[in-house]
Amino acid sequence: AQATDAGVNKATPALFAIADTPQKMLALGEERLAEMIRTIGLYRTKARNVIALSGRLIEKHGGEVPCDRDVLETLPGVGRKTANVVLNVAFGEPRIAVDTHIFRVANRTGLAPGKTPLAVEDGLEKRTPPGYKLNAHHWLILHGRYVCKARKPDCPVCVVADLCRYKAKTGPAEMIAAPADKPRSRNAGESGRGRRTADG
């Protein structure tokens, strides 16, 4: 929640253009890194962790990112959510990373209620069909960010409003009727007679 996509997307292109390996991050240094990621929340803490993490990757893992969650969580600044994101995005593992958006959506809707992110993660792991697990947390994040918003959820456009257990929801999604077929002209299609229609 401290780092918005807008802030991250603004900072990373220029950063990765000059420092896309642990070795290059170390060479960049903490102060310069901090200046380059100023658009990200808690940027000084993140810069410190990235430099420490880069050193650990070189020292313990040959400069490579490990693909084991327990090992990832030993790295500076890496918790379970970040580890799950890395495994999902970088290694294609069907992991569900619970951020504030997913935590809110899972609890509001009743999809996977829980008092902690781990409880929500466990619930989502059990309720999400295997074929959807790779993309599930991406979809839930988008739903939480743009529809099931923290302060003012947009319930009228929500596609699962009728299934949602949120007591304060503002109403179900409106059903939009399909347009009726227009009757064809009696003379449509007759050679040399009648008016031509859009179909003809």
Catalytic residues: 81, 99
Could you write out the three-class secondary structure of 24-89?
HHHHHCHHHHHHHCCCCCCHHHHHHHHHHHHHHHHHHHCCCCCCCHHHHCCCCCCCHHHHHHHHHH
The structure tokens 């466990």 sit at: 122
Question: Strand, helix or coil at 14?
Answer: helix
Instruction: Give dist(CA 48, CA 3) in Å, integer.
Output: 15
Asked if 23 contacts 58 with a C-beta cutoff of 8 angstroms, the reply is yes
Are 94 and 103 in contact, with CB atoms under 8 Å apart?
no
